[in-house]
Amino acid sequence: MQYSRCLLTSDAGNTDRMEASPLLNHDLQRHDLVGLRSNAWQTIIDEQAPTVQRILRQWQQANWPMVVRRDEAEGHDQQVAVGLVLPPSTCASEGNKVRISALVHASAIVYCSKPKTLLQLLTQRQGCVPDHWQTALNVLLSDAEQMQLDLHCFGSFAYQLSTGQVYLNDKSDIDLLFYATSKTQLMRACELLARHAEMLPLDGEVIFPGGFGVAWKEWLPAAKLAQDHGGQRVLVKQRQRVGLVPIEELTHSLAA
């Protein structure tokens, strides 16, 4: 299957001159998008091979963000683990993705945002979506808008639509996440995604208050089982840890 390469669009700017709001390290969550100061970028670039350095300089010049990932054991309180994935077409070993990982000081971050929404990405680069996904994605977006549900994107789908570079292949998923606000919204959103997953290769997470991420595909069966038997636990990913957490502990953080 062939995917068209989209035109590269630069949002370049001098991030060192941007007005940065006070940022606390503990406010950052997995999947958040962050912009870095030029000295932090330079440190990251200097640690890479020459071919990768060239690509990272283009990334920096386009002002594309890095992504907050799970903390590393050797990090300290003011360090933030960040990373990005380079397009397979730019890598020496065809078909493999090069993952760039780094630890940066919180003061090196000049902006932070949640992952882009499905609406933002489709509006930005509708032409980057494979043809066989177009109609089904528009239906999903329409159903989500009726629910007033913001679906955020990460992974290869988000990278391709954010940068215009080719990341997707025949085996790619569409990774979506949403931020849970109430028990009702949580169940309706999971049911919506499960229904559309019959037509699209959907995957992803629901993010609970505090940055607790749970695979939404696992939540529905676990929650229904908990209604009958109680005591169910789900695998939770957070910046600081990964572990099993009781379902009740997560739902207690939500409104009705």
Check pLDDT > 90 for residue 13: no
C-beta neighbour count of 158 within 10 angstroms: 24
Instruction: Provide the pLDDT confidence category of residue 231 given band limits of 50, 70 and 90.
Output: confident
Instruction: Provide the pLDDT confidence category of residue 151 given band limits of 50, 70 and 90.
Output: very high
Token representation of residue 65: 């963000």
Contact 231, 218 (CB under 8 A): no
DSSP string of 164-224? ------TT--EEEEEE--BHHHHHHHHHHHHHHTTTS-EEEEEEETTTEEEEHHHHHHHHH
Q: What is the mean pLDDT of residues 181-195?
A: 96
Name the DSSP class of 89.
G
Check pLDDT > 60 for residue 164: yes
Chain mean pLDDT for the chain:
87
Q: What is the mean pLDDT of residues 21-43?
A: 85
Q: What is the mean pLDDT of residues 160-188?
A: 95
Nearest alpha-carbon partner for 133 in 156, 110, 114? 156
- Over the stretch 203-212, which tens digit does the pLDDT of each residue have? 999 999 999 9
Q: What is the mean pLDDT of residues 124-137?
A: 92
Per-residue pLDDT, 143:
98
Check pLDDT > 60 for residue 226: yes
Give 253-256's long-range contacts (Cβ < 8 A, gap of 24+): 253/208, 253/209, 253/210, 254/180, 254/181, 254/182, 254/183, 254/186, 254/208, 254/209, 255/181, 255/182, 255/183, 256/182, 256/183, 256/184
- The single residue listed with the structure tokens 């910046």 is 239
Instruction: Provide the pLDDT confidence category of residue 227 given band limits of 50, 70 and 90.
Output: confident
Question: Which of 8-12, 40-44, 69-73, 77-81 shows the lowest mean pLDDT across its residues?
Answer: 8-12
